[in-house]
Amino acid sequence: MNPQSSLSAYTSSVLELLERFSKSQAKVLQEVADRIVEAHAQGKRFLVFGTGHSHMVAEEFYSRAGGLAFVTPMLQNELTLTDHPFKSTLIERTLGMASVYFELYHPEAGDVLLIASNSGRNALPVELAKLAKAAGVTVIAFTNLAQSQTVSSRHPEGKNLYHYADLVIDNCGAYGDAGFDLGEGIVMGSTSTIIGAFMAQSLSILIAQSLRAKGMEVPVLRSGNLDGSDAINKVIKAKYFRSF
Contact 159, 133 (CB under 8 A): no
Supply the mean pLDDT for the chain.
94
Could you give the C-alpha distances from 219 to 55, 74, 122, 193, in angstroms and in order?
23, 20, 34, 25
Phi, psi of 204 (to 5 degrees): -60, -40
Residue 81: other Cβ atoms inside 10 A: 15
| Sign of the CA dihedral with 13 first, then 191, 224, and 232 last | positive
> What pLDDT does 6 receive?
87
* Per-residue confidence band for 23, with pLDDT thresholds at 50, 70 and 90: very high
Domains, the chain, ranges and CATH?
3-238 (3.40.50.10490)
* Per-residue confidence band for 1, with pLDDT thresholds at 50, 70 and 90: low
**Of 35-39, 149-153, 205-209, which range is least confident?**
149-153
Does the pLDDT value for residue 244 go beyond 60?
A: no
> What pLDDT does 5 receive?
87
* Per-residue confidence band for 242, with pLDDT thresholds at 50, 70 and 90: confident
180 closest CA partner among 4, 6, 53: 6
Does the pLDDT value for residue 74 go beyond 70?
A: yes
Q: Which helix (H) or strand (E) holds 114?
A: strand 112-116
Partners of residue 68 on adjacent β-strands: 220
Mean pLDDT along residues 102-127: 96
Mean pLDDT along residues 104-112: 97
89-98: pLDDT as tens digits: 999 999 999 9
Dist. CA 113–CA 34, nearest whole Å: 13
Q: pTM of the predicted model, to two decimals?
A: 0.94
Contact 38, 208 (CB under 8 A): no
DSSP H helices, 64-122, are 87-92, 97-105
Does the pLDDT value for residue 49 go beyond 80?
A: yes
* Per-residue confidence band for 135, with pLDDT thresholds at 50, 70 and 90: very high
31 closest CA partner among 210, 242, 218, 201: 210
Does the pLDDT value for residue 85 go beyond 60?
A: yes
DSSP state of 109: T
Give the list of residues 6+ apart from residue 71 with CB closer than 8 angstroms, or none: 46, 47, 48, 61, 62
> What pLDDT does 38 receive?
98
Contact 141, 161 (CB under 8 A): yes
Report how far apart the first and last C-alpha atoms of the chain are (Å, whole number).
Answer: 51
